[in-house]
Amino acid sequence: MNPYVIALLLVTLVWGATFPVIKVVTSQLSGIEVSALRFLAAAVILAPSAMQARWNTWRDGAVLGAVALVSYVAQAYGLEFISSNRSAFLTSLNVLMVPLLGIALGARPSLVTLIAACVACGGIALMSWDGGAHLLADAATVLSALAYAIYVIVLSQRTQRHKPQELAATQVIWMALIGGLWLTLDAWHTSPVWTLPSRLSPAIVAGIIFLGIVATAGMLFLQALAQKHVAAEKAALIYAMEPVFAAAFAWAWLAEVLSPQAAVGAALVVSAIVMSEWKQARHPA
């Protein structure tokens, strides 16, 4: 298998672990607080790389960081009110949004890719749909999916121009700055930020460190590196493995049983990934 596909699968594996972590962290923190703190932790780690970046990397990092921040905050807000399974399904709608947006922008994804995306979404629906609708939370999570679809497309367009570590670093610095400003403005209305220290239990701090250093700093670097070599619509298809990995973590760590319906859904998602790889193997670039 293509090593860059493997890298994106690793990214998706880590993302699968973030859903239960965010669910725990948002029991005490708001969506914007979680986002601001995770990006601050990531910024500390990636600051040396950001110092070496050129001005055009900072420019593209600002665009990518702003779009990604909207996605992360909207997702975290949604997880305050809906289950992680439901959030995973709605977030993974970007699997279809990416090729559809690509078509609108003039791209021509292959028929096999479009079919695979539909198969993956069907599998995700079988795995993750569990009821528990919440209008605002569902809308926010769909917005998160749309923002991330835009992010994947823009990243594929602009990652060729930059070193992956510098592009990841500038994104994170911008996300930390914008997230901190957003949190400050939010405090004028709700003032929860003043109670933040009292809500930072050891479990919450550990969750923020994992989300910031591993799931953000590390995975943004891998994503920027791999998407130099993987098309946007195919990358989105690989990201459809996120709820599959999330279910696997739930089974291994929480002893949750995978229902027959969910097992069929997981098989469909894996089949969609194999379908896209099979096409590439038969018709190499």
pLDDT above 70 coverage of the chain, percent: 84
Q: Can you give the pLDDT at residue 282?
A: 44
pLDDT in tens, 69-119: 889 888 888 877 877 667 777 777 777 778 778 777 776 767 777 787 788
Residue 107 buriedness (CB in 10 A; 0-12 / 13-18 / 19+): middle
Q: Picking from 105-109, 130-134, 138-142, 195-199, which range would have the lowest pLDDT averaged per residue? A: 130-134
Query: What is the arithmetic mean of pLDDT over 131-154?
Result: 83
236 falls in which pLDDT band (50, 70, 90)? confident
Reading the block at residue 103, the tokens are: 């078509």
- Least Cα distance to 12 among 230, 255, 285, 259 occurs for 230
Report if pTM > 0.95: no
- Give the best-scoring range by mean pLDDT among 73-77, 161-165, 167-171: 167-171
Q: Can you give the pLDDT at residue 103?
A: 75
Instruction: Please report, in angstroms and rounded to a whole number, the separation of the first and last CA atoms in the chain.
Output: 14
Q: Can you give the pLDDT at residue 99?
A: 76
Q: 165-187 in b/e burial notation, b at 16+ Cβ within 10 A?
A: bbbbbbbbbbbbbbbbebbeebe
DSSP label at 211? I
